[in-house]
């Protein structure tokens, strides 16, 4: 059976993270994801799980798989694996 070729842009969407200075974090259940790890927890989230996060520079090639709703800090990319056509 031949495999169907799909363009990267058709099954995944790259999106920039959201600004959230540390002083504005309000302790809560949602992880705030940095380029290589969780950097804190906040009372709100911007991204529905699941998701893959990677840095825009410096840590390129390192990825994190996030299984709960989360907030991605500004200099990261969210790879929206829920995108479908």
Name the pTM for this structure: 0.77
Instruction: Please state the domain extents for the chain.
Output: 9-80
Per-residue model confidence as pLDDT tens digits over 21-36: 999 999 999 999 988 8
9-80: CATH number? 3.90.220.20
Per-residue model confidence as pLDDT tens digits over 33-76: 988 889 999 999 999 898 888 887 777 678 889 999 999 888 66
**What is the rounded distance in angstroms from the CA atom of residue 13 to the CA atom of residue 37?**
21
pLDDT value of residue 71: 94
**What is the rounded distance in angstroms from the CA atom of residue 65 to the CA atom of residue 76?**
13
**What is the rounded distance in angstroms from the CA atom of residue 33 to the CA atom of residue 12?**
19
Choose among 50, 44, 47: nearest CA to 76: 47
44 secondary structure, DSSP code? -
């Amino acid at each position: 059976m031949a495999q169907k070729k799909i363009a990267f842009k058709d099954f995944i969407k790259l999106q920039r993270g959201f600004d959230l200075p540390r002083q504005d974090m309000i302790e809560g259940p949602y992880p705030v994801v940095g380029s290589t790890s969780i950097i804190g927890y906040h009372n709100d989230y911007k991204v529905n799980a699941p998701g893959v996060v990677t840095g825009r520079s410096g840590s390129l090639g390192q990825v994190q798989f996030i299984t709960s709703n989360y907030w991605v800090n500004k200099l990261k990319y969210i790879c929206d694996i829920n995108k479908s056509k």
